[in-house]
Amino acid sequence: MAAKVYINGTFYEQEDARISVFDHGLLYGDGVFEGLRSYGGKVFRLREHLDRLWESAKAIHLEIPISHQEMTDAVNESLQVNGIDDGYARLVVTRGVGTLGLDPAQTSDPQVIIIADRITLYPEEFYANGLKIVTVSTVRNHPAALSPRIKSLNYLNNILAKIEGKQAGCIEALMLNHKGEVAECTGDNIFLVRHGELLTPPREAGILDGVTRQAVIELAIESGLAVHEIPLTRHDVFIADECFLTGTAAEVIPVIEVDSRSIGDGTPGPITRDLIEKFHRLARA
Ligand code: PMP
């Protein structure tokens, strides 16, 4: 089924959905985006995703030309017209058409794009058996240069890390920050379990403040687990009892090996499995 793509208030057939080659989203990666997930026709934590989109836009001096409510309606309509109950929606706001120079002041009309799609998950075996990942040498963007909290259209930092991970035979890869601390994976946040407590890098480590990360922290606290947002090193990862990743597309996925070290006993641990189940229940609630 061909997708109907929303651009600035109008739905276009996929092949007719077009953006100018002079759009600074294309020329410079100048724009912001979000990835959303719908379960049973309802978008998971839509308000949080929209808040983050508006925060990303604010950080880059981009004014989103529609309101939160209009965006909410447009997202829901996109899912409806495409007949998607369980799926994924990509929101993109570009800087708009401009001259060939960098200056955003020379651009006009930011483009608001919504692409609703079926979800392509990691293969089921990874949820059952866990992922093997590696640490890559591409350092996560220095937060003082370009904050990883901005979900911008310039994802080259993550793409370079992804390429390195794939070259090592892994579908996800761990990135360290400029201090050599654990930051996050190319498109997912990371958690460890150690002595029955949950550990995850703080926002200050230079990470995307994940919506799924926050949901998992809440679920863990509700179930009585202590959660520590603290700086972590690769050593902390190697000696963890359990490890898992969180993200809108991945949800919660176990990690059983990092840099050829087995994590715990090399199988998805009990706290990870419990949180996976709790997350599924929350998402479908
Ligand atoms: N880190 C990065 C770099 C991401 O791109 C994402 C989103 N794919 C995440 C973490 C996870 O964030 P969320 O749970 O909001 O999808």
pLDDT digits (tens, 9 = 90+) for 9-60: 999 999 999 999 999 999 999 999 999 999 999 999 999 999 999 999 999 9
**How many Å lie between the centroid of ligand 1 and the Cα of residue 115?**
18
**How many Å lie between the centroid of ligand 1 and the Cα of residue 100?**
31
Tally Cβ neighbours within 10 Å of residue 245. Answer: 26
Mean pLDDT of 250-267: 98
Q: Which residue puts its alpha carbon closest to atom 7 of ligand 1? A: 187
Question: 164 with 171: CB under 8 angstroms?
Answer: no
| pLDDT grade for 278, boundaries at 50, 70 and 90 | very high
Residues near ligand 1 (Cβ within 6 A): 35, 158, 184, 187-189, 208, 210-213, 246-248
Residue 198 has pLDDT above 80, yes or no: yes
Site to substitute for ligand 1 among 151, 155, 248, 279, most atoms within 8 A of C-beta: 248
**Predicted confidence (pLDDT) per residue in 80-104, tens digit:** 999 999 999 999 999 999 999 999 9
The predicted structure's pLDDT at residue 12? 98
Q: Which residues are part of the catalytic machinery?
A: 151
Query: Average model confidence (pLDDT) for the chain?
Result: 97
The predicted structure's pLDDT at residue 121? 75
**How many Å lie between the centroid of ligand 1 and the Cα of residue 31?**
17
Mean pLDDT of 127-152: 97
Percent of residues, the chain, with pLDDT higher than 70: 100
Site to substitute for ligand 1 among 45, 90, 189, most atoms within 8 A of C-beta: 189
Between CA 160 and CA 139 the distance in angstroms is: 10
CB-based contacts of 83: which residues, under 8 Å, 6+ apart? 1
The predicted structure's pLDDT at residue 211? 98
DSSP 241: S
Q: Which residue puts its alpha carbon closest to atom 10 of ligand 1? A: 188
Adjacent-strand bridge partners of 101: none
The predicted structure's pLDDT at residue 1? 62
Length of the chain: 285
SS3 category, 36: strand
Domains with residue ranges and CATH for the chain: 4-117 (3.30.470.10), 124-283 (3.20.10.10)
Q: Which residue puts its alpha carbon closest to atom 2 of ligand 1? A: 187
Mean pLDDT of 165-193: 98
CA angle 131/189/124 to nearest 5° reads 35
